[in-house]
Amino acid sequence: MQKSGRISLNVQSEIGKLEAVLLHSPGAEVENMTPKNTQRALYSDILNLSIAKQEYEQLSSVLSKVSRVFYVKDLLVKILENDHIKESLIGKICIAEGVTDYYEYLLETSPKMLAQMLIEGLPAKINTLTSFLKDDYYALLPLYNFYFTRDSSVTIGNNALICRMASKVRMRESLIMEAIYKSGMFFDCGVMNANDFMAGDPSVMIEGGDVLVAREDVLIIGSGMRTSSQGIDLLIARLCKNRPQEKFHIIVQQLPDSPESFIHLDMVFTMLSTDKAMVYEPLILNDNQYQTVHITVEGGKVSKIKPVNNILSVLRKLGLDLEPVLCGGDVDEWNQEREQWHSGANFFAFAPGKVLSYARNIHTLNELDKHGFKIIPARDIMSGKADIPERSNCVVTIDGAELPRGGGGARCMTMPLRRSQVKW
């Protein structure tokens, strides 16, 4: 697992036993928002930070019992202690966000305070007429969405893919993640940077919520409002270059552009175990206008592209026979729609058949109960009242009154760094 004191990244599935994970606990950046700028922040509503932090603590506490946990802010402080990395990162951020006049000020700031500014936001200096008239309090906007650590990077095998975010307000997240991975201080891995694929082409987008590692030779990727077909094509080209002798498969699922709850593939499809997946039935199983495409790669090039019925049908042909568990249950389409909106399909597996989700989606949880998953509140595990069962399937539920307002669930908030191999 470790090489020269670092962790070797290795993720070959969505469900392998979790060994290391990257998190970011929501902080003051979440409160540095008003109803006026929620849309810019990509939120559906403002959050109550104190409650959101309590809910997030349930997630992080459970994961700390089963895995090694890294926190983005801690890693950021450490890399900023290196003057070369500090200069490079600040320079990239200042140029990208048009605040080069703040470069010297940021460079003179201590690593701890600088990390705070880069995440929580930097208030603008009001010392010119232009800055006075500018309708924005911040020179560097807060990273409102950073607690969704899934989106700005993805672990594929032993590589970290730095994502090219669809929204400018999230671009700094990718720059920070690139600096952390490339520092070599914590992780032993290759780095693929989607921001370098075609730097001047705004049509190239790819985010981590759309990328699922089903098996070492199978990726499932959503194509929608945050990940473009151009981004997927360029990722495939890079994978062909990195794996010229391997045969692998890409399954692409088209996603609607609205409502915003369809933001990523993991909002409608996630893997639960070696034989079950959580699906939003209207999009994944029912007839609709959105295509599912199977791409086969052999000998370092795309050898075949064809339409297929749905994700589960092509996975079955590839030897992954997954029984669908329906988000919102199988009785009422209204329940399906309501619970999908609140991340009812967004599950995170920390071992095969052991998953995390929100407690609020009761119809989805009832459906899982019918499929043999024991429902365990995270609070009970934190207090020692309950343990995670070794041999049976379970769903550990976290409170979800505030966190879902940001537009994501358990998978969105977790970025696996290393998982053990799965016995299929």
Could you give the CA distance from residue 350 to residue 364 in angstroms, rounded to a whole number? 19
Reduced to 3 states (helix: H, G, I; strand: E, B; else coil), residue 136 is coil
Do the Cβ atoms of 207 and 264 come closer than 8 Å? Answer: yes
The residues near 203 (Cβ < 8 Å, ≥ 6 apart) are: 228, 230, 231
**How far apart (Å, rounded) are the C-alpha atoms in residues 136 and 141?**
9
Where along the chain do its domains lie?
2-419
According to the model, what pLDDT value does residue 329 have? 96
- pTM given for the model: 0.94
pLDDT value at residue 354: 98
pLDDT attached to residue 45: 60
3-class DSSP state for residue 396? strand
3-state secondary structure of 122: strand
Query: What local confidence, expressed as pLDDT, does residue 295 receive?
Result: 98
Q: Is the previous residue joined to 142 through a cis bond, with omega within 30 degrees of 0?
A: no
- Residue 54: CB atoms within 10 A of its CB come to 15
35 cis-preceded (ω within 30 degrees of 0): no
- CATH superfamily of this structure's domain 2-419: L-arginine/glycine Amidinotransferase; Chain A (3.75.10.10)
Mode of pairing for the β-strands spanning 394-398 and 374-377: parallel
Q: In terms of DSSP bridges, do strands 138-140 and 276-279 run parallel, antiparallel, or are they unpaired?
A: unpaired
Low-confidence spans in the chain with pLDDT less than 50: 2-4, 38-43
Spatial CA neighbour of 284 closest among 321, 244, 311, 305? 311
* pLDDT value for 200: 76
How much is the pLDDT for 34?
A: 57
* pLDDT tens string 50-104: 999 999 999 999 999 999 999 999 999 999 999 999 999 999 999 999 999 999 9
pLDDT for the residue 407: 85
Q: CB-hemisphere CA count at 13 Å for 303?
A: 10
